[in-house]
């Protein structure tokens, strides 16, 4: 007689499905972190079966709850949940090939690889900070479209490592200040890190820390499903973000290794997995989930379809223009006609020829763009009046309980700002830009790197771009920073020479859906160099001949930003000595490198001397000037003095450029 298949599954069975999929996949890969998925299996089971609003068959539904596995090393938790709940791109073959080349189940969850990864996590602290961006985006959309269209929670599973990283403080203080009450953090409070007990390195009272930052906090047994459910329910009704400290046993279910660092970052081994199966009365072969358990999980994955359909009905009743605007912004499409505003701005600049710092040119461009593109959201890391990132269209500023504005005061939290902007971009509906000094890109670079890795359209406004910032001195003069940004894959770095190039750089950045853009902008005033209007975006080519030689070209002078004007002066000095030189403005190396070989050769000039000038590190310019060329720039740190004194002191002058060219003829 064949035994009947039970039509229900217990909580323990459903949690054990996560545990054994995680154990088996990590064992087969001989690589991974089983402890966290096993320890947080009970919390995840309660969250996904009782609370999470999602539909596995419609993974990008705009009003779904967001789930961030900030402790990304425990990626098998996310992959197991995806398979069990029925995401199409996470079948059992993906689970069996965890961490293998060509499969979506990477060592840390990656956005765009699996559809249930709302963000890429792995670098600890990034996920919890992305989540602030998700929660803020939800609040902003609710203010614009109403709770019938935007009404979802952001849940985070974070570990001790996430909370130890400094960026977490930036995240929790900003979330608490803004009262983002739909952000709920489930802390895997297992007292274990890779080195051993967390007491080796920390004695923080995390609940007190979060409470001081304006959060609600509670402590629970992370293996008691009813305590878990009660805590989540209370958090959903709180008027502030909530931390739930889930006291757990790392590697729960592994009878001999649980509770220690031995289960943190290494496979359990065949003997321990067999012992775990015996202890849990789990007689199934590796990667086999019994039918009744899988059916219960699949039901959890599909129950959100009813809510999704109701939401689609509400969306359909919106006024046609409002519905179209929501859909357009959610899909990342720019509004019709915005480029006409770009052309009008360029024509006006070429006609009026103002002498302004490119940070001011950036503000002028942003005034035009934010008026034309309502999804642009501005901000600054407490440098608004230096970065000049505020515009009339972005007023008023966002504040706790008031989320209809378009400007965010991030405070002195550069790293947090960048990671929050990633969350805003990933959520959908917004294009974030945020400002700080270029030197402090060093503070936010890990999050900028994630913008690039995830191919997110995030705009970094980085002012005070060279020794030209002057008296603040070498601590603030970003000698090497732009080289690091240029070395970052999938990142566009613009250093415009005037207001026309500045607007063109923004146009390129907004059209770029596949990565971040950085704008290195001057403190000092620069003349307008593009005095004849052209509808072509010359900056989009990365480099172009600004002024050609009067006769046969003997010298090519290459420059970016404020030094393009200096190169033009050097050209005059060379002409006085009978030497014909062309000046090439090179606002974006990355775009120039994408051009055809023929175009690059035409711009750089073949068979002539090449001299580059930039008031930053000389590193990298050799690829353009060649072994016989020269680079005028910085080989050490700067000094405190007015800008003109610094340029003369460090030999970054028109005379030095001309002399370098003459010495090589």
Catalytic machinery residues: 414
- 363 close to 389: Cβ distance less than 8 angstroms: yes
Nearest alpha-carbon partner for 60 in 372, 387, 311, 405: 311
Specify burial of residue 582 (Cβ count, 10 A radius: 0-12, 13-18, 19+).
buried
Per the listing, tokens 């405190």 go with 640
- 127 close to 116: Cβ distance less than 8 angstroms: no
- 76 close to 263: Cβ distance less than 8 angstroms: no
Q: 655 is written with which tokens?
A: 């005379």
The DSSP secondary structure of 460-516, one letter per residue, reads: EEEES-SGGG-TT-TTT--TTHHHHHHTSTT-EEE--SSHHHHHHHHHHHHH--SS-
Q: 29 is written with which tokens?
A: 């890969």
CB within 8 Å of 614: residues ≥ 6 apart? 466, 495, 559, 560, 561, 563, 621, 631, 632, 633
Maximum Cα–Cα distance for the chain, whole Å? 104
CA angle at residue 52 from 51 to 53, to 5 degrees? 115
Q: 175 is written with which tokens?
A: 């979330």
| SS3 state at 213 | coil
Give φ, ψ of 632 to 5 degrees: -100, 115
Query: What would you report as the CA-atom Rg of the chain, rounded to the nearest whole angstrom?
Result: 28
Specify burial of residue 248 (Cβ count, 10 A radius: 0-12, 13-18, 19+).
buried
């Amino acid at each position: 007689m064949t035994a009947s298949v039970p039509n229900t599954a217990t909580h323990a069975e459903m949690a054990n499905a996560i545990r054994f999929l995680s154990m088996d996949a990590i064992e087969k890969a001989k690589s991974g972190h089983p402890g966290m998925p096993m320890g947080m299996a009970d919390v995840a089971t309660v969250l996904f079966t009782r609370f999470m609003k999602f539909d596995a068959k419609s993974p990008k539904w705009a009003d779904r709850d967001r789930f961030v596995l900030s402790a990304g090393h425990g990626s098998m938790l996310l992959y197991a949940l995806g398979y069990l709940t029925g995401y199409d791109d996470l079948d059992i073959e993906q689970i069996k090939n965890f961490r293998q080349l060509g499969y979506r189940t990477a060592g840390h969850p990656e956005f765009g690889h699996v559809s249930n990864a709302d963000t890429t996590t792995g670098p600890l602290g990034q996920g919890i900070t992305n989540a602030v961006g998700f929660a803020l985006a939800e609040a902003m959309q609710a203010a614009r479209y109403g709770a019938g269209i935007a009404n979802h929670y952001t849940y985070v599973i974070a570990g001790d490592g996430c909370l130890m990283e400094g960026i977490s403080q930036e995240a929790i203080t900003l979330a608490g200040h803004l009262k983002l009450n739909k952000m709920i953090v489930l802390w895997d409070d297992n007292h274990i890190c890779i080195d051993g007990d967390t007491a080796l390195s920390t004695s923080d009272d995390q609940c007190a820390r979060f409470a001081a930052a304006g959060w609600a906090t509670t402590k629970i047994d992370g293996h008691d499903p009813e305590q878990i459910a009660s805590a989540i329910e209370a958090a959903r009704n709180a008027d502030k973000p909530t931390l739930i400290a889930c006291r757990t046993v790392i590697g729960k279910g592994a009878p001999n290794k649980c509770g220690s660092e031995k289960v943190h970052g290494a496979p359990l081994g065949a003997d321990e997995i067999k012992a775990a199966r015996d202890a849990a009365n789990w007689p199934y072969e590796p990667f086999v989930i019994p039918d009744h358990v899988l059916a219960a999980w699949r039901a959890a994955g599909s129950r959100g379809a009813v809510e999704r359909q109701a939401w689609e009905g509400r969306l359909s009743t919106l006024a046609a223009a409002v519905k179209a605007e929501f859909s357009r912004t959610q899909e990342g499409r720019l509004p019709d006609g915005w480029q006409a505003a770009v052309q009008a701005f360029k024509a006006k600049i070429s006609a009026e020829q103002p002498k302004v710092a490119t940070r001011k040119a950036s503000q002028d461009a942003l005034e035009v763009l934010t008026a034309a593109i309502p999804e642009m959201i501005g901000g600054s890391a407490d440098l608004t009046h230096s970065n000049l990132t505020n515009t009339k269209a972005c007023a008023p500023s966002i504040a706790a309980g008031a989320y209809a504005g378009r400007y965010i005061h991030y405070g002195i939290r550069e790293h947090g700002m960048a990671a929050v902007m990633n969350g805003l971009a990933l959520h959908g509906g917004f294009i974030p830009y945020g400002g700080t000094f270029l030197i402090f890109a060093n503070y936010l670079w890990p999050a900028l790197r994630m913008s690039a890795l995830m191919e997110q359209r995030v705009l970094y406004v980085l002012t005070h771009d060279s020794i030209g910032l002057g008296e603040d001195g070498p601590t603030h003069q970003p000698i090497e920073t732009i080289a690091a940004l240029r070395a970052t894959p999938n990142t566009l770095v613009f250093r415009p020479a005037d207001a026309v190039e500045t607007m063109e750089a923004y146009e390129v950045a907004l059209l770029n859906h596949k990565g971040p853009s950085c704008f290195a902008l001057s403190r000092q005033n620069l003349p307008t160099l593009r005095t004849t209007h052209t509808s072509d975006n010359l900056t989009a080519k990365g480099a172009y001949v600004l002024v050609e030689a009067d006769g046969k070209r003997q010298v090519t002078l290459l420059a970016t930003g404020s030094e393009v004007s200096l190169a033009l002066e050097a050209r005059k000095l060379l002409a006085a000595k009978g030497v014909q030189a062309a000046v090439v403005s090179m606002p974006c190396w990355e775009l120039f490198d994408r051009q055809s070989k023929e175009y690059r050769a035409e711009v750089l000039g073949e068979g002539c001397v090449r001299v580059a000038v930039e008031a930053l590190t000389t590193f990298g310019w050799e690829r353009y000037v060649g072994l016989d060329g020269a680079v005028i720039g910085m080989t050490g740190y700067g000094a405190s003095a007015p800008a003109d004194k610094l340029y003369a002191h460090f030999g970054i002058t028109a005379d030095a450029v001309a002399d370098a060219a003459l010495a090589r003829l």
